[in-house]
A and B are shown apart, each in its own frame.
Chain A
């Protein structure tokens, strides 16, 4: 194969054409899907706030009402932060490749940190909560539930804890790989810059 520039360019550009109708259909489908997801998220937010207002008015939370409102406020902040995070990733595609990689690196580091919170924080917090409860209120009465119901609650809690921990470890592995990959790419860029100088 001859590798003169013109021949290579002609060879490179000789590929098949793309079906733009398929691409446009995909874009339209994805947009509909994303809008549906957004509406579901907004509906879930409104429903959870409405539910809290209802239970608060009914006096269900009692002394713990500020704690309950704290939980819902934190959930809302997390939701808004996730929307902004997603939006930030979309806008990043217009940046230069190096800026994009730097942004991805910082995002991967945040992801790694969140993964660590899940992986190590969940079991540590669970143990501390149990130990704290025993220390603060050693004679607290047991839940007024049957043994099987208590077991079901414990099993549910344990599975959530284990799930979060496993998810955290998976996040750690995924983001560590990504950080290593992005660092390699950025080093390549730096290396090429130094050569160009």
Chain B
């Protein structure tokens, strides 16, 4: 690996690694495959690094690559439409203070991930980036959409997400 390229990749993975994994979890529900998809994103980032122009922030660049790798992954798998499944509701590894709180929070997060996965692709990417804390303009840059378009999609994604979460409870 060239030193500068390796250094940049390391920095991106350090800063955005968790975001990459969360985005990967909107395209795949099984933890092992999420990890695999995260690795694919890391490789895609390495390949795409020479194309990075500092016009956009590295966060939007990384998010775009992660979503595109997710789209390609789903196309290859041509899996059944994702939805709220038993797996998505399964408890996740421990994190947080008390055991009850841990399980509860992990389950809530798994539910949220499942509900985001159940959204159509055009809304899923917008909602995932919104939950990552992207502004509408940043989401627009990442997905090549106008801020107005992002706003409309976000409103629809919110209502669908709310319905999915309520039905899951």
**B-binding residues in A (CB < 8 A):** 1, 3, 8-9, 11-18, 20, 22-24, 26-28, 30-31, 90-101, 104, 108, 174, 177-178, 181-182, 185, 188-189, 191-193, 195-196
Cα of A129 to Cα of B111 in the assembled complex, Å: 60
Starting from the known contacts A1-B165, A20-B10, 18 additional A-B residue pairs (CB-CB under 8 Å) come to: A3-B162, A9-B130, A11-B109, A12-B132, A14-B109, A16-B18, A16-B93, A20-B17, A24-B9, A27-B42, A27-B46, A31-B1, A31-B46, A91-B47, A97-B121, A189-B122, A196-B148, A196-B152
Q: Which residues on the A side are within 8 Å of B162 (C-beta)?
A: 3
Q: Which residues on the A side are within 8 Å of B38 (C-beta)?
A: 18, 23
- Given the known interface contacts A14-B105, A18-B38, A99-B144, the answer about A94 and B48 at a Cβ–Cβ threshold of 8 Å is yes
- A/B interface sample: 26 pairs, CB < 8 A: A1-B108, A3-B162, A12-B22, A15-B18, A15-B95, A18-B17, A18-B20, A18-B38, A20-B14, A24-B10, A27-B9, A30-B43, A31-B46, A93-B47, A97-B121, A98-B144, A99-B144, A100-B68, A104-B75, A177-B78, A178-B75, A178-B78, A181-B78, A188-B121, A192-B153, A196-B149
In whole Å, how far is B147's beta carbon from the nearest beta carbon of chain A? 11
In whole Å, how far is A111's beta carbon from the nearest beta carbon of chain B? 11
Cα of A31 to Cα of B120 in the assembled complex, Å: 34
Q: Which residues on the A side are within 8 Å of B156 (C-beta)?
A: 192, 195
- Given the known interface contacts A23-B39, A96-B143, the answer about A18 and B111 at a Cβ–Cβ threshold of 8 Å is no
Q: Which residues on the B side are within 8 Å of A177 (C-beta)?
A: 78
Cα of A23 to Cα of B105 in the assembled complex, Å: 27
Determine if B131 and A12 form an interchain contact, defined as CB atoms under 8 angstroms apart. Answer: yes
Cα of A22 to Cα of B14 in the assembled complex, Å: 12
Cα of A16 to Cα of B112 in the assembled complex, Å: 15
Does chain A have a CB within 8 A of B69?
A: yes
> Which of chain B's residues has its CB closest to A25's CB?
B39
Q: Which residues on the A side are within 8 Å of B133 (C-beta)?
A: 9, 13
8 Å CB interface, B10-37 against A? 10, 13-14, 17-18, 20-22, 25
Cα of A193 to Cα of B126 in the assembled complex, Å: 13
Determine if B22 and A3 form an interchain contact, defined as CB atoms under 8 angstroms apart. Answer: no
Q: Which residues on the B side are within 8 Å of A28 (C-beta)?
A: 1
Cα of A96 to Cα of B149 in the assembled complex, Å: 15
Cα of A93 to Cα of B61 in the assembled complex, Å: 10
In whole Å, how far is B153's beta carbon from the nearest beta carbon of chain A? 6
Cα of A98 to Cα of B143 in the assembled complex, Å: 8
Cα of A31 to Cα of B13 in the assembled complex, Å: 17
Does chain A have a CB within 8 A of B135?
A: no
Does chain A have a CB within 8 A of B89?
A: no
Q: Which 10 A-B pairs have the closest CB atoms?
A: A96-B144, A18-B17, A12-B131, A196-B152, A23-B42, A20-B13, A196-B149, A26-B39, A192-B122, A93-B68
Cα of A86 to Cα of B22 in the assembled complex, Å: 27
Q: Which residues on the B side are within 8 Å of A15 (C-beta)?
A: 18, 21-22, 25, 95, 109
Determine if A104 and B13 form an interchain contact, defined as CB atoms under 8 angstroms apart. Answer: no
Q: Which of B17, B71, B78, B95 contacts A100 (CB 8 A)?
A: B71
Q: Which residues on the A side are within 8 Å of B88 (C-beta)?
A: none
* Residue of A28, A96, A196 contacting most chain B CB atoms (<10 Å): A196
In whole Å, how far is A40's beta carbon from the nearest beta carbon of chain B? 20
